Structure 1
């Protein structure tokens, strides 16, 4: 029998997992290591997102960090001894996890409270939306260590900020503060540190007022459409639109609009 969210949450060590209504809040919780990603943390993230895929009552996710870090990279002490094949396997494992986060058919917001470096920046980019505290700092410093970003950074960063800026940040390892991150398109919004989680919850609650299936298929259309040409993307959009037109929530939404009343969606 599959574990529930609460059962998984009780067994986590490096992540604090809580529910606020239909919202799962995941707090990276290794503050002494600035929440750096080690094997155990990656495994815990994988377990909780596997659970989130199947729990229909949970409609959205927020990822944030405890202390001064969101996630300040991968655990260098763990990687130091890796040779080529071990490094490739490590990258494969992390990429598979971040792909799972990106593909979750529910909205995921990164509430970036502090340092989001290396794997932390890559984790934030696997989320749908990034809200940054004024104290947040982003960067891909892997070239300082003799390696390249390998948790998706060489692919997601240029898709967000353009190839020129992505190359600059990866080649120089330069760190970017919150306001600059917003100006280049890496984050959606910058807010005071003390209101970060409230702002993330408020945005997610606004999203969750909409039809869950419309949000789900919008996410699928955008994510898959980014990997194909425009014509194929438009065909995908039509097919997914057809699915939403056949839902009870579509009928409810349009009936409510014409009846000038709030819609009550049931995710079906």
Structure 2
């Protein structure tokens, strides 16, 4: 269900269940978490096979859950999105086709969300009497703002890639999202790791700025020779 292809700078993680629009089972969630956690590359590219990114939780499984097992399934999904968010690697979601429910939540946990013009997004859980519980209610308003978050979560409506870009749900719309992962992967791995950590830090401003200065010092010390070489050859393009 989860296919992993390793390159030197990019690990490609593909959700492979196209007959179910890449809906995830509990085992699939565990495999996805492992694939992200064990990546040693500076960039992980997450995508879905076929005509969808991910339809979220497999509803055939959800329909058979009782209260206790449903809560455990939600916590399992939350562990996956936390793994993505906290990964040392920069995780880029390449979204082509439908992202629904938990599929949106997987994308929200990624560092960058890049869509094709054919991508669509929706949180349709309310139409079934449920909602996305893989961390979406926390991350969605943080990324798109309270108004758009409530609109998406309460209406269940489908939005286009351009709508998603307007509200900040996706960063770019391109024909080939992997090209953005490749663009990021050419940069210094230690800088990527530290910048991701610093930007995601939600401590107080004073704590953040102190950690920022420490991290900057660490990078300058580690990359002094490269900085000097670039200085002598001209500014980065």
The TM tier, using the shorter chain, reads over 0.9
User: Could you tell me which residue of structure 1 aligns to residue 198 of structure 2?
Assistant: 221
- The answer to whether residue 181 in structure 2 is matched with residue 204 in structure 1 is yes
* Contact 1:140-1:153 within 8 A present in 2 as well: no
Within the alignment, does 1:240 sit opposite 2:182 as a pair?
A: no
Superposed, 1:71-110 pairs within 5 Å as 71-110=54-93
TM-score normalised over the length of structure 2: 0.93
Deviation of 1:262 (Å)? 9.4
Give matches, 1:58-207, under 5 Å.
58-192=41-175, 196=176, 199-200=177-178, 202-207=179-184
Does residue 21 of structure 1 match 2:8?
yes
For residues 262 and 212 of structure 1, the distance between their equivalents in structure 2, rounded to whole angstroms, comes to: 19
Q: How big is the alpha-carbon RMSD for the aligned residues of Structure 1 and Structure 2? A: 1.8
Specify the SS of the correspondent of 1:111: strand
Higher relative contact order (CA 8 A, sep 6+): 2
Offset at residue 261 of structure 1 (A)? 6.7
Q: Is this contact kept in 2: 1:125–1:157, CA < 8 A? A: yes
Q: Tell me, what secondary structure is at the counterpart of 1:17?
A: strand
Query: In structure 2, the residue corresponding to 1:246 is in which secondary structure?
Result: helix
Unaligned 5+ runs, structure 1: 1-13, 264-268
Partner Cα separation in structure 2 for residue 19 and residue 32 of structure 1: 25
Cα deviation for residue 84 of structure 1 reads 2.6
Mean alpha-carbon deviation: is it higher for 89-98 or for 20-29? 20-29
> Which ranges of 4 or more aligned residues in structure 1 deviate by more than 6 Å?
none
